[in-house]
Chain A
């Protein structure tokens, strides 16, 4: 077998071992009684609840898939609109001084406001429906998109710009053909942060103001003292986040093949 193949198997085995260790310690803590059975479920119970929740809407009114899709749709809506607005805005701010001077002060004030601090005002304006949550996710994902696109363009190696100039490139060409491509790695880092941030902000928003979604599900689990439901929700949130991150890595490799 090839060396790469062996490395892959080793990687998978070690990964599985890590997960097994985590589950083992969890089970052990409960068997020994360090964590009470009343406040926490065992891995087995959680798995069982997960399977039951695939078809049963109890105790919170919807199956786990319904909660999942509801959350995912909102997160994606907010995330993609943030990308569509934030990245062009950041790129333009990075290159054009006038745009930077115009937009930067407002942006600098909005930037430090934690996304969940928007929740109260948004509830007043938009209620607790879909637009409210999309907006909150948008605010969470927007900031890293802008910052990273902006920094990416600003950090363009001046030598590339000089080289393009000596080849007769004007401002627009330098912006689109030099600064934007050279910012791509930074932009992707921004997208990665945005994605994580939209997902976690959404769950926070759902916990505070919602009638469905994974955040709502775990919040209901607490109200009804159902640790198994809470943990199912948490694990679905965690696994989805990890999957999105892997997918994004694939996309990045496809779009920016020049990176090692």
Chain B
């Protein structure tokens, strides 16, 4: 099937059910319909255990067992070309910061010199110059997540999936990283799906926010924070939207 010009990812009636060894069914996602536009910064917002990570796994192709269809620009039904930033960094501890970022292009078969040059470029973009030869255990959580972001971007895929990337960081670092991610995204526009359980983070970052609720999770509502970036946490519109989402969120819980 072909998608209309501006759509990067299209989910149609996607449902996912886990079945355990005793044949018990655990429906996680139900009838998810969603279109993600090219170069859109989409935020998937939901409380814990609402299948957000599962949805990313389906989109990324890491999990291929689901009902419904997921299609991509150009009509492909499957794509491996995606950069993912995982909740817990997932950096290879046996590789240095530079080698970790380089890995992405290495697996894609790029020549050594070219991929090192690229990796260095992305490390510069995330502000990690001078840390190329550190191992992951030698750098802070924020720096690890920067490395992971650089690694995901270095694959030069059109689609970036970020799964609660700042959940493990302290508040201060988190704000910094949110700014960073917007800056990087504005420098290197990609289609971004950003998963979070934090309402303010969602409003600060998203072009569009999709709220997931329930068990199995369904799309409850969409919000468009039509505010200029950089957004201020104390802006009236910001606070209104936060309250609005907060009320819906409360009902969810």
Q: Which residues of A contact B (CB under 8 A)?
A: 157, 159-160, 162-169, 173, 177-178, 181-182, 184, 256-258, 260
Contacts and interface: CB of A to CB of B under 8 A. Distances in A.
B139 to A, nearest CB: 12
Interface of B: 60, 62, 80-84, 86, 88, 90, 92-95, 103-104, 107-108, 135-137, 155
Nearest to A169: B107
Given A163-B86, A167-B155, A168-B80, A256 B94 contact: yes
A181 B83 contact: no
A258 B84 contact: no
B90 A162 contact: yes
Given A159-B86, A258-B135, A166 B93 contact: no
Contacts of B107: 164, 167-169, 173, 177
Contact of A257 (B60, B83, B92, B135): B135
Contacts of A258: 93-95, 135-137
B94 A166 contact: no
> Chain B CB within 10 Å — which of A163, A173, A182, A184 has the most?
A163
A178 B95 CA distance: 10
14 contacts: A164-B103, A165-B62, A166-B60, A166-B80, A166-B83, A168-B80, A169-B107, A181-B92, A181-B95, A182-B93, A184-B94, A258-B94, A258-B95, A258-B135
B137 A162 contact: no
Contacts of A181: 92, 94-95
Contact of A162 (B81, B86, B104): B86
Contacts of A164: 103, 107
A176 to B, nearest CB: 11
A167 B137 CA distance: 22
Closest 5 A/B residue pairs (Cβ): A167-B107, A169-B107, A181-B94, A159-B90, A163-B90
Given A166-B84, A182-B92, A258-B93, 10 more contacts: A157-B90, A163-B84, A163-B86, A166-B62, A167-B103, A168-B80, A173-B107, A181-B92, A181-B94, A182-B94
Of listed B60, B84, B93, B155, residue having the most chain A CB within 10 A:
B93
A238 B93 CA distance: 35
B62 A167 contact: no
A157 B84 CA distance: 16
Contacts of A257: 135
B75 to A, nearest CB: 20
A236 to B, nearest CB: 37
B7 to A, nearest CB: 21
A162 B62 contact: yes
Contacts of B93: 182, 258
B82 A166 contact: yes
Contacts of B80: 165-166, 168
A159 B135 contact: no
Nearest to A159: B90
Contact of B137 (A159, A169, A260): A260
Nearest to B109: A168
Contacts of A168: 80-81, 107-108, 155
A144 to B, nearest CB: 22
A161 B104 CA distance: 13
Contacts of A160: 90, 92
A260 B138 CA distance: 9
A28 to B, nearest CB: 47
A79 B111 CA distance: 39
Contacts of A178: 92
Contacts of B95: 181, 258
A182 B95 CA distance: 10
Nearest to A162: B62
Contacts of A167: 103-104, 107-108, 155
Contacts of A159: 86, 88, 90
A182 B136 CA distance: 14
Contacts of B94: 181-182, 184, 256, 258
Nearest to B89: A159
Contacts of B137: 258, 260
A54 to B, nearest CB: 45
A177 B104 CA distance: 12
Contacts of B84: 162-163, 166
A149 to B, nearest CB: 16
A173 B103 CA distance: 11
B162 to A, nearest CB: 12
A185 to B, nearest CB: 9
